[in-house]
Structures are given as structure tokens and as C-alpha cells.
Amino acid sequence: MARIISVINFKGGVGKTTTAVNLAACLTRDAGLRVLLVDMDPQASATLHLWSIDAHSAEMEGASRTIARLLFRAGKDLPYDIDRFLIPVRKEYRGRKLDGMHLLAGDNRLIKLDRGLGNRPTLLDSVLNPLRERFDVIIIDSPPVMYSVIQNNILASDLYLIPSVADHVSTSGIQHLMKILGSYFEKYRAIIRDRQARLAGVLFTRVGGLNVQLHRKLMQQVRDDFLKGAYAAYGVPAGSDPVFETTIRERIDVARAAAERVPLVLFDGNSDVSVDYLRLSRELARRFALAPAAPTGV
Ligand SMILES: Nc1ncnc2c1ncn2[C@@H]1O[C@H](COP(=O)(O)OP(=O)(O)O)[C@@H](O)[C@H]1O
Ligand SMILES: [Mg+2]
């Protein structure tokens, strides 16, 4: 049964998409999990990390195989064949291969669904739930704003991961995010009952450069805020470390790999950021006991 994890932050440029794509690739290649990446950003950045615009358009047959179309049909209770929407991600780069991962592709038409999604906060949940049998982990990339989407993402999720850069504005943004998520959980308590998403952890990205001291201080501050119980009302489990041990270093390889339309592990498995994302995938798998499904039958 898949665990569903949203990568979420109202701030842009904090590494949400980079984290969603690279975590998905590492969990597929390294941990051998059946991974589905869901691109819920109308800018389709995760999808465009893997395909050029032209190739994307050909692969998705215009827009007929994207998440926007899928949610449109599901929202109107029209029948759909989910296998048409699950796009296999098969990549090869300098002899390194990625196989076995799937994508629900992004599409800017998601913007048109804004109101519909606002009225149907559990629409994504209803689409993803039947897929839990077929995957070990489902990772959802979120847009920075667009509350209707973020609400759908969080109500479909078991866990949420908050990437943040270590500066004052961003770490203060975490408090704002936690408050909004808390208000969703409150508002939809009757629907979600005991399945309220839990914090997987705050992930510090783009760490390094000249600011190592400041980064350390801010990371500790976030940890202290959580441990002091400042966020206890918003569903953070007591006693668990709210900040991932792994941090992601700031390196130009991130942009280089994206330009080649491949995840970092394929681009250069030995680069610092590649090593960091591999470490993150192992930390996440260990913390939440993500494991391949036991083989069934003979
Ligand atoms: N660890 C990193 N080192 C260097 N650049 C990074 C790193 N993570 C992300 N970036 C760059 O920062 C920009 C924003 O990253 P992205 O993952 O798209 O953030 P978000 O999805 O939160 O907007 C992109 O240009 C990306 O290449
Ligand atoms: Mg993004």
C-alpha cells in the first residue's frame, strides 16, 4: 500500500520540484520502490524536468493524458482509464538507467480547474486512493500558491515534506504554512478523521556557500520551534525530529541535470547534490519504513 507524500511550501524557489523529482528517482533506483510522481503544479515544472516542451506535448498527446484532464473527468464523474494517464518514465543517460517510475503529468490547464478543485477538496484523494495498491510511494509536487490545489494535495497525503532554504523569510514562512495546514485539518476533520497528514520533516535545501553559520543557526531555530511545541496544534508528532538530518547542498549540477531533462542520479551519481538526495531518500525510507511490497504468489 503506497504512502502518499506531498512536497509543499507556499514559497517558490525553495527546491520543491527538485526534491520531488530527485526523491522519486532515488526511491525508484536505489530503494527499488514502485514510485508515482504526481505533478500538481500548473507550471508543470516536474514534468518539464523530465521532458522538453515538445517531447512532453507528444508524449502526453497534447493534453489528453495529463493530471488536469484526469481531474476534470473525475470531477464530473466521467469514466476514465487510469492506465492512459500513468506515463512510464524511462530514461538513460551515459549508461545509467531509470526504469519503473511513473508520472501523472502536469498541465497549465490545472488553473482552469481552480474553482472546481476548491469545491472538491478530496478529488485528488479519490483519484489516488485506488492507486495505492499499485505503488509503494506516491510523491506529489505542489505549486507555491493556488490554495485549491494545495488543499487537495494535503488531504490526499499521509505525509508532507517541507523544503526550505535557510533564510529568515523562509523559516518564518514555515510557521505560516503550518497554520494554514492546521486550518485545513480543522475544517475537514469530519472527512479526514484519523488520516490527517503528518509532517515527514523540514528539508533544508541550497545549503552552503558563505552562509554556513547562519544556516546552522536557522536550522536549529526551526528545530527548537517545533520541539518547544509551537506547532503541536498542527499535527506534528511529539518527540520526532522535525528537521531531516540530511541537508541538500547548493550546487550548479541541479540546473545542469534539469537542462538535460534527467534526475541527478543519472546525470552524475557522484555529485554532491546527487549524494545528498540519495541520503535523503534513505533517511525517509528508514524513518517511515518505506519498503517494496512483498512479492505475491509464485
Ligand atoms: N540544491 C540546489 N542547488 C542549486 N540550485 C538549486 C538547488 N535546488 C534548486 N535549485 C534551483 O533553484 C530553482 C528553484 O528550484 P525548484 O526546485 O524549481 O524550486 P520550487 O519548486 O520550490 O519553486 C531552480 O532553478 C533550481 O535549479
Ligand atoms: Mg516547483
Higher per-residue pLDDT: 198 or 263: 263
Nearest to 257 by CA among 247, 248, 249, 269: 269
Report the pLDDT value the prediction gives residue 52, as an integer from 0 to 100. Answer: 79
- 64: confidence class by pLDDT, cuts 50, 70, 90: confident
Question: Ligand 2 centroid to 4 CA: how many Å?
Answer: 18
Burial class (CB in 10 A: 0-12, 13-18, 19+), 53: exposed
For the CA of 41, the nearest ligand: 2
pLDDT, position 255? 96
Q: Where are the domains of the chain?
A: 3-287
Task: For residue 196, give the amino acid letter.
Answer: Q
Instruction: State how far the alpha carbon of 154 is from the alpha carbons of 52, 129, 178, 230, in Å.
Output: 28, 13, 12, 20
145 vs 69: which has the higher pLDDT: 69
pLDDT above 70 (res 167): yes
Q: Name the 3-class secondary structure at 141.
A: strand
Q: For 189-198, 203-212, 220-229, 254-263, which range has the lowest pLDDT when averaged over its residues? A: 220-229
- Asked whether residue 238 carries a pLDDT value surpassing 80, the answer given is no
Return left, alpha or beta for 82; rule: phi > 0 is left, psi -120 to 50 is alpha, else beta.
alpha
Specify the residue for cell string 469514466: 79
242 CB near ligand 1 (under 6 Å): no
Confidence of residue 237 (pLDDT cuts 50, 70, 90): low
Q: What is the CATH number of domain 3-287?
A: 3.40.50.300
More confident residue, 153 or 234: 153
Q: Which whole number is the average pLDDT over 189-200?
A: 86
pLDDT tops 80 at residue 54: no
pLDDT at 230: 59
What length is written for the chain?
Answer: 298
Q: Using 50, 70 and 90 to split pLDDT, how confident is the model at 205?
A: very high
**Residue 108 pLDDT exceeds 70:** yes
Closest CA to 27 of 257, 289, 285: 285
Helix (H, G, I), strand (E, B) or coil at 44: coil
**Residue 16 Cβ < 6 Å to ligand 1:** yes
Task: Express each pLDDT in 262-292 by its tens digit.
Answer: 999 999 999 999 999 999 999 999 999 898 8
Paired strand residues for 105? 66
Q: Say yes or no to pLDDT of 236 above 80.
A: no
- Report the residue among 8, 16, 18 best suited for mutation to probe ligand 1: largest number of ligand atoms under 8 A from its CB: 18
Would you place residue 86 in the very low, low, confident or very high pLDDT band (cuts 50, 70, 90)?
Answer: very high
Q: Which residues contact 161 (CB under 8 A, 6 or more apart)?
A: 5, 6, 7, 8, 19, 23, 200, 201, 203, 284
The cell for 123 is: 478529488
Name the pTM for this structure.
0.95
- Residue among 11, 40, 254 whose CB has most ligand 1 atoms within 8 A, to mutate: 254
The answer to whether 290 and 27 are in contact (CB under 8 A) is yes
Q: What is the mean pLDDT of the chain?
A: 90
Range name among 53-57, 71-75, 94-98, 267-271 with the lowest pLDDT average: 53-57
Predicted pLDDT at 66? 93
User: Is the minimum distance from the CB of 254 to ligand 1 under 6 angstroms?
Assistant: yes
Looking at the predicted structure, is the pLDDT value of residue 204 above 80?
yes
Ligand 1 close to Cβ of residue 248 (< 6 A): yes
Look at residue 295 and tell me whether its pLDDT is greater than 70: no
Q: How much is the average pLDDT of 97-105?
A: 95
**Ligand 2 centroid – CA 40 distance (Å):** 9
Q: What percent of the chain has pLDDT over 70?
A: 93
* Of 184, 132, 189, 122, the residue nearest 156 (C-alpha): 122
pLDDT confidence tier of residue 194, bands split at 50, 70 and 90: confident
Residue 238 three-state SS: coil
* pLDDT greater than 70 at residue 135: yes
- Quick one: which ligand is closest to 15's CA? 1
